[in-house]
Amino acid sequence: DSGVTQTPKHLITATGQRVTLRCSPRSGDLSVYWYQQSLDQGLQFLIQYYNGEERAKGNILERFSAQQFPDLHSELNLSSLELGDSALYFCASSVYSGANTEAFFGQGTRLTVV
Amino acid sequence: GQQVMQIPQYQHVQEGEDFTTYCNSSTTLSNIQWYKQRPGGHPVFLIQLVKSGEVKKQKRLTFQFGEAKKNSSLHITATQTTDVGTYFCAGRGGSTGFQKLVFGTGTRLLVSP
């Protein structure tokens, strides 16, 4: 158990809908990362927060947004969902946001858009 | 933007054979990390290399960081069925920013008994 909690584990929704994925980082970790992993693909970096502030952005679609709350949990909002958004979404956390910090991954949320 | 490629994409070996995956970044990295993802699982941190030319060993696994800090390798000696999974390198640094942890494309390893 990495200590990073993601909910829900599975989500099935229809095209055009909006969903929210939730992540609770490990106790003491200030940085949260979101990654998208499509079937048999690599981990695509979406966005990173540190202590409530956005620190880095990857190729995140405009339909996607995220935030980190004062209690350090994070939410990833996906809207106007398309079939191609079906993927495994991982949240990871680390103590700091810079170099020399390993990331601890949650179990992921499997999103299926039908 | 920063790109991290890994080769091979996939390798199938017999138990006892050696395995190597190579990681190449388009930009200089501040450090390189390696993760393993078992089938159906999540990535798990293996190790971090920081210094140019650094070599670290973990039992049958040997990790190297290139002199130019743009490439790395993971070598597994005498593979076992428990080594099955996808191995990712991940790096920070480069022209696109210091904070991003960008993952490589991954190498999927299958080990037959």
- What's the pLDDT tens digit per position in B42-51? 999 999 999 9
Name the nearest CA neighbour of B30 among B5, B2, B61, B11: B2
Q: In the predicted model, what is the mean pLDDT of chain B?
A: 92
State whether residue B106 sits within 8 Å of chain A by CB.
yes
Q: Which of A2, A45, A106 sits opposite B101 (nearest CB)?
A: A45
On whether the CB atoms of residues B108 and B11 are closer than 8 A, the answer is yes
Distances (CA, A) of A26 to A53, A72, B44: 17, 10, 14
- Please, what's the largest Cα pairwise distance for chain B? 44
Contact pairs from chain A to chain B, CB under 8 Å: 63
Contact B32, A86 (CB under 8 A): no
Q: Give the pLDDT confidence score for residue A41 in this predicted structure.
A: 75
Is residue A18 within 8 Å of residue A79, measured between CB atoms? yes
Residue-level pLDDT at A83: 96
User: Each residue of B14-50: pLDDT tens digit?
Assistant: 999 999 999 999 888 888 999 999 999 999 999 999 9
B30 touches chain A (CB under 8 A): yes
Residues in chain A with pLDDT values less than 50: none
Strand duo A44-50 + B31-37: pairing: unpaired
- Across the interface, whether the CB atoms of B42 and A103 are under 8 A apart is answered no
> Which residue among A55, A100, A107 sits closest to B50, beta carbon to beta carbon?
A100
Check whether B94 has a pLDDT greater than 60. Answer: no
Q: Is A34 on the interface with B (CB under 8 A)?
A: no
Q: How confident is the model at residue B96 (pLDDT cuts 50, 70, 90)?
A: very low
